[in-house]
Chain A
Amino acid sequence: MVFSGLPFLYLFMPGVLLVYFIAPKRYRNFVLLVFSLAFYFFGEQFYTVLLLISSVSDFIFSLLIEKYRGTVKAKVFLIAAIVVSLAMLGFFKYIDFFIVTANSIFGSDIAVLNVRLPIGISFFTFQTMSYTIDVYRGRVRVQANIVTFATFVCLFPQLVAGPIVRYSDIAEELENRQERLADIAAGIRRFCLGLMKKVIIANSMAELVEYFRYSDERTVLFYWLYALAFTFQIYFDFSGYSDMAIGLGRMFGFKFPENFNYPYISRSITEFWRRWHMTLGNWFRDYVYIPLGGRRVKQSRWIFNIAAVWMLTGFWHGADWNFIVWGLMMAVLLVAEKFFITKWLERAWRWVAHVYTMGVVVISFVIFSGAGMRGAWTDLAGMFGAGGIPLVGTLSLYYLRSFAPMFVIAAFLSTPLVKRVGDGLLARNSKWTLLEPVLIAASLILVTANLVDGSFNPFIYFRF
């Protein structure tokens, strides 16, 4: 089930809100757990078992770690917990990639297993691993209540597309939380904002991406339209989904960490990654980069650490070489920025830094979205007119005209300008706040209209 679907908005959500708020406080985690499992079961019937295995495994191993704290056994149980999580992730997400790679390297003929990727496995395995590691490190108290722990793992707002919520982020709220009017209203606000971002902007951009993919016309203009459309699609889809997750969490009394902070206003790739999918970046920082030594090592080792972290980050996004290349490209840029690019950018005009950053981001997303490395290279070559393709064509000109206003809107909404304008209006006259319910109703009507019309509504996290 996806948040931006009619079954969620008009069956699941009223159901969970109704049952949750009429249930006594002590049963509310249980209500959330049951609805969360139903939410996951709706899309992944068989794989719901994996979610339960992941919950039970880390729950038991963490109890054992606590019991044998300070002994070798604690470390053994930590390793066992990590092995279970990584084995699950490795098999269900990467096994076919490993087989194909082995076949191409060794000339073997091992049949691929065609394992279907369980939705959200990359998110919930990372969450459970972080919990067990934090218990081992003594950073969080072990959770002795299986319902409370399973609620954390399965919590539907953040289950399939993040943000990657760590146990420490919501440990207190899992035990004791207040669902205040102000929080519920803030949650509604955030949820509707995310819904609009996903349905109105991201889906519109996704349509253009689809038109490109299914068209025979190949022109430089069409390649660029595709690249820009995908760049906006992935941002508004992903950040919209995060907004919806954060908003839903807030309605139920949870405060999830922020995941995006206007990444497209960045003036370097280093800054971009401080603003993009922040919970993933923080996860790799805390559980991979720092344990590898972080920056407090020799320069060569530091470069290795960066390369390892970014290769893994790329690999986390998908089981294909283009994701690894995408990650390594980021590593190279981050190292280069550390050594010299940042110094140049600081001396250059601000727009030069923006153009550099967005240029790299757009190109990196073309690699990211390509059909394997070959597809990615074809797309990149097309953007620069390789093969003598024409500059423009009838269709690309038509789509440019048809989507230009949406590009402008998307670019505008990628900056904090709208928020600043809104805050400015409110500062001058607080009565403007009474417009909010109108905007909420309008957003729900527009989104529902879009969904009822069966407009394009892709789910792009299937490979995460």
Chain B
Amino acid sequence: MKISRVSKTIHGKYILSDINFSIETGSIIGVIGRNGAGKTTLLRTMTGILDPTKGDVTIDGYSIFKKPQIKEQVIFVPDSSEAFKNYSTKEILTLYKNIYPKFDEEYFYGLMERFSLPSVKKTGAYSKGMKALFSLIIAFSTGARYILLDEPTDGLDVIVKKQVLQILIEEVAAKDVSIIISSHRLDELEFMANKIIMIKDGKVDSLYEIEEMKEMYKKVQLVFKETMPQNLKKEVTILDQTGRVYTVIMDRNDPKIQHMIEETEPLLFEELPLLLEDIFVAKLGGVSHVS
């Protein structure tokens, strides 16, 4: 799946501007960004629900806007759906079977049984957790290769949440599918996603493998004899400061910064485990945003 130069304006305002990236199958991709950064608009454009103002989304070289059949390769699961609440489980199943020719009914009932989800006359009767599970079971049964989920674990209790994440992982492990998740739960994405797309003001701020990202930056705790020298402040991103104790993110592979710190003879210069959350704060605006 390839997203090429996608821009989207709504009421004359740029929501997405010049988005480019591609997705291989067999991966879990996290889309992260501040509220209102354009994550949901991006997912909706990628599935062909919204038409981009400029640019194209292609799968195997075919545009999903020009060749509608290709849409059977993608499914979008919104964060909450009220549209089908008056339909029965069976009616929704029939609907999706008609849209997705590769729909696997046996697999669908298998998952329904595994998660003890009953068939109901009105899916509005499902609890929030059941609705989320149901949407995912539908999505995984469609046979789509690209599954886009908007905040899939929002509002779920820990037990349901774990179940949801586990089927999601099993899907990727067992089939050649890709899952694109927009989420604010960075702790969940930390070990689940292999790739992270950071969106900032409608643009892709960065797109990296998580492991690669952690090799680029280093989180350290520093204690200076006095305060941090001004020239050093320009080179690092300060995550937190309490008196003379600083927690900063720095470039792991720049000997110049390492040297500058050592020259100040800090009382403490210690590496801390780097979390996705730290990179998020450093890149998308923290206590004091420098780089």
A binds B: no
B residues lining the A interface (CB < 8 Å): none
A residues lining the B interface (CB < 8 Å): none
